[in-house]
Structure 1
Amino acid sequence: MNLSNHETDSPIWRPYTQMKTTPPPLKVVKGEGVWLELEDGRRILDCISSWWVTIHGHGHPALAKSLYHQAQQLEQVIFANFTHDPAEQLARKLLTHLPDALTRVFFTDNGSTAIEAALKMAYQYWLNQGETNRTRFLVFEKGYHGDTIGAMSLGIGCSWWEPFRPLLIEMDTVPFPATFDDDPEVEIKESQALEQIESLLKQETYAGIFIEPLIQGAGGMRMCRPEFLRSLQTIAHQFGVLMIYDEVMTGFGRTGELFACSKSGTTPDILCLSKGLSGGCLPLAVTLATETIYQTFYSDDASKMFLHGHSYTGNPLACATGLTSLNLLEQTPQRFRALEALHRRYLETWLKGHSRIEQIRVCGTIVAMEIITDQTPGYFNTIGSELRDRFLELGFFIRPLGNTLYLMPPYCISDRELESMYQVISKVLDT
């Protein structure tokens, strides 16, 4: 074996990592609550829920128990011909927490594939009605929807995808009215974005509008107001265009309510969910649709079926943990609803007026801010990797998006543990 970099004992090629320059990975042997235990005995506080999926914390006994019991019953079965209780129960329970117009649940296995399903579903919805010209979508600048080809195309406003631009489907990009605490121009930005969207809708017949509601995640934790989503929905209805929500990250309590659509009082035509859906245990995703959309596929004509699917669609193990996770969210909603007030308390105590940060914003369980540097702002600003390494040395896993520093902890975090995150941020920024 000929390994070309310093990770001479591993053949693994890691995601979103420059393998030549990155430090060796830390080997985790156990997770418990908000803590990760390393092979050398150190403990690291997981401040971002391991890429935003571990909403209840690591090693939750209820999730482990449901996984164990389901593994003894049924681990996997083809979902085109069969069904099973975990999927049926999870689908029905999900629908009780979502707008009444959403009635159908299509299972996939991760956020990118949920988005791919939504993209194809929206296009085929129009095609099944004989509208062959509905091939274009409106998307938002700096949006991120996943890293498969269709999902990258929807996130064409994200700078990451420049190398792949020749492979992507053409989309029309509009401004995202990103805001922050005490933003004096928020209404102007919203008005300008809505004007541009309306202008494009008058010129072109679109299939749909994709948006990460309330928070753009990987694009920099950029936040918009519920008022903007309500205005956007009004315009979409006016022009007969599908509203498609990517709640892969914002779902399951992240915004302070179970779903961003509920918090904003809006109803998408198609909704994508993943990440926290299984409580962080296993890959699982769903794409939900209205009955109106579903009925255009419900036909004696086989060519009108939804032409999409995956081997692990509706995996019983993942669905079982998803059902348990949703039960936990129902039983302890105060855990995710209380975090915004705590974030604001510790921001006031430890970071208010700090000379190195600006544009602080908070939504539910998520806080974000911009680190002021001499470099160009964005994902490739090197301050991100410098801060990540400094935080790790002090026992905290915080992974900035370039110069965007954010926290997204598991809901089981204690007040003391949360405050310690702010203390270490203050300490590092002071140096």
Structure 2
Amino acid sequence: MRDDTRRWTEADKRHCWHPFTPQAAWTAGEPLVIVRGEGAWLWDSEGRKYLDGNSSIWTNIHGHRHPALDEAVRRQLGDVAHTSYLGFANPRASELAEKLCAFFPAGTLERVFFSDDGSTAIESAMKMAIQFRQLTGEAGRDGFIAFDQAYHGDTLGAASLGGVSRFHDRFRKHGAEVTFVAGMDALKDLPGEVAAKAAAVVIEPLIQGVNEMRPWPAGMLRELRQWCDATGVQLILDEVMTGFGRTGRMFACHHEDVIPDYLCLAKGLTGGYLPMAAMLTTGRIYDAFLGDDSRAFYYGHSYTANPLGCAVALASLGVFETEQTLERLQPMIARMAERLARLKAGHPRVHEIRQCGFVAGIEIRQADGTPFPAAEHFGARVCTAARDHGLLTRPIRDTIVLMPPLCTGPDELDHAVSALDHALATT
């Protein structure tokens, strides 16, 4: 181990606290220290090279050190790194809001509320939905409907929408009032008084991420929009993971031509460069907040509409156009399906492949189809073994996530699947 690696890991173990990480196990191990990236690749402090198989926790879009994105940050630094958005505007935020709204038909999603991350995008949508009801004479509609095994973030309001017990149960009583349903049939069977009391329903469109990458049935999102229209329940779409090309379209809701009341974006918004979020909503909702001070939306963050984040987000949207990212992605989506089908055919422990666009979950079970005992952490062991073959990714329980940057080429995708192949064979 190099001296600098040892120094960094020792300082980490003494002082750092990692998210979603049992710290006792972490401090007993030898963590990788990532020091450099380029394209779809990352290097650790020991000089080893890995494909970024989960896009640095689902954020990176066009690859690391993309020249256009790097230049956008440098150019903005030449002007100013940050200015307040409370009482002031800035050019990049104005341009970015205009670009985001242009992805949707005129007169639909036409207002953008910026914040810091996916959790705060959801939080702002929840608060806005509640206040909208108060301002329009429906103060009793303050509940929410969410789906079993959903994940929408970890701030207290967003966490209350989460259906994953190990993440959210200990905080359940401190959040919003939420009714959970398994799917559309259960939603339609809810007592009328539940829908009548609900401000909004929240969903990850097309595919649930933390629920081991489980896609929704085709047409479900359109059916949900129709149910909302019939009941007066507003629709919040959590596209924190699915936005910006992951599903093969710019946004997942484009697949079924659905316009939500609130659209929450983060992760890939800046191409994976800087923390930033945006929540889009309609002119009708915005207009309800107009008037005297008592109607204002008193919610925000110090780094709202940070100029650096807005600049690199604009550059990322530009790369989608100049590099024809979505067009180039289509054959890669097909290649991923073909390569993962071959992986499943070659390994009896690959129980199921779940894919939506350029996002895949590879569920591992015992050869007889039963799950591995949780204490074995089999998925984590496979991912650790994959490092020896040049792939970094993380499991969700025993489902291995494969979600590389959209810039990943055919040979790089083959490398990722081959690494999983070797890891499965040796674990």
Do these two structures clear the TM 0.5 threshold for a shared fold by scoring above it?
A: yes
The answer to whether the Cα contact below 8 Å between 2:115 and 2:304 also exists between their aligned partners in 1 is yes
Q: Hey, what does 2:173 align to over in structure 1?
A: 166
Following superposition, the deviation at residue 408 of structure 1 comes to 0.4
Following superposition, the deviation at residue 379 of structure 1 comes to 8.4
Give the counterpart of 2:193 among 203, 216, 233.
203
What is the CA–CA distance in structure 2 between the aligned matches of 1:382 and 1:392, rounded to whole Å?
16
User: Is 1:144 the equivalent of 2:144?
Assistant: no
Deviates more, 1:340-349 or 1:45-54: 340-349
Q: Hey, what does 2:99 align to over in structure 1?
A: 93
Other structure's SS at 1:20 match: helix
Following superposition, the deviation at residue 425 of structure 1 comes to 1.5
Alignment of 1:37-186 (within 5 A): 37-100=43-106, 101-175=108-182
Residue ranges of structure 2 left out of the alignment (5+ in a row): 1-7
Other structure's SS at 1:292 match: helix
Deviates more, 1:343-352 or 1:230-239: 343-352
Following superposition, the deviation at residue 381 of structure 1 comes to 6.6
Q: Hey, what does 2:184 align to over in structure 1?
A: 194
What is the CA–CA distance in structure 2 between the aligned matches of 1:377 and 1:139, rounded to whole Å?
29
- Count of aligned pairs between the two proteins: 408
Following superposition, the deviation at residue 377 of structure 1 comes to 7.1
Give the counterpart of 2:363 among 370, 391, 402.
370
Q: Which of the pair is proportionally richer in helix?
A: 2
Deviates more, 1:42-51 or 1:362-371: 362-371
1:399 counterpart letter in structure 2:
R
User: Is 1:313 the equivalent of 2:304?
Assistant: yes
1:213–1:347 CA distance, 2 compared to 1 (3 A): same
Q: Hey, what does 2:381 align to over in structure 1?
A: 386
Following superposition, the deviation at residue 338 of structure 1 comes to 3.1
Other structure's SS at 1:83 match: coil
What is the CA–CA distance in structure 2 between the aligned matches of 1:75 and 1:295, rounded to whole Å?
32
Following superposition, the deviation at residue 28 of structure 1 comes to 1.7
Following superposition, the deviation at residue 220 of structure 1 comes to 1.4
Q: Hey, what does 2:278 align to over in structure 1?
A: 286
Deviates more, 1:357-366 or 1:375-384: 375-384
1:325-377 deviations in whole A, cap 9, x for unaligned?
01111222223333211111212333336311223222111111211148757
1:425–1:353 CA distance, 2 compared to 1 (3 A): same
User: Is 1:219 the equivalent of 2:211?
Assistant: yes
The answer to whether the Cα contact below 8 Å between 2:145 and 2:201 also exists between their aligned partners in 1 is yes
1:9 counterpart letter in structure 2:
A
Q: Hey, what does 2:31 align to over in structure 1?
A: 25
What is the CA–CA distance in structure 2 between the aligned matches of 1:356 and 1:31, rounded to whole Å?
32
Scaled by the length of structure 1, what TM-score is found? 0.90
Q: Hey, what does 2:242 align to over in structure 1?
A: 250
What is the CA–CA distance in structure 2 between the aligned matches of 1:140 and 1:120, rounded to whole Å?
19
2:332 counterpart letter in structure 1:
L
Q: Hey, what does 1:187 align to over in structure 2?
A: none
What is the CA–CA distance in structure 1 between the aligned matches of 2:403 and 2:376, rounded to whole Å?
21
Task: Let me know the Cα RMSD of the aligned residues.
Answer: 1.9
Residue ranges of structure 1 left out of the alignment (5+ in a row): 1-5, 176-192
The answer to whether the Cα contact below 8 Å between 1:99 and 1:262 also exists between their aligned partners in 2 is no
Other structure's SS at 1:21 match: helix
1:14–1:172 CA distance, 2 compared to 1 (3 A): same
1:327 counterpart letter in structure 2:
G
Other structure's SS at 2:137 match: coil
Aligned identity (percent) is 40
The answer to whether the Cα contact below 8 Å between 2:53 and 2:392 also exists between their aligned partners in 1 is yes
Following superposition, the deviation at residue 395 of structure 1 comes to 1.9
The answer to whether the Cα contact below 8 Å between 1:114 and 1:274 also exists between their aligned partners in 2 is yes
1:228-257 deviations in whole A, cap 9, x for unaligned?
111111111001110110000100000100
Other structure's SS at 1:352 match: helix
User: Is 1:230 the equivalent of 2:222?
Assistant: yes
1:305–1:226 CA distance, 2 compared to 1 (3 A): farther
Q: Hey, what does 2:4 align to over in structure 1?
A: none
Following superposition, the deviation at residue 380 of structure 1 comes to 7.6
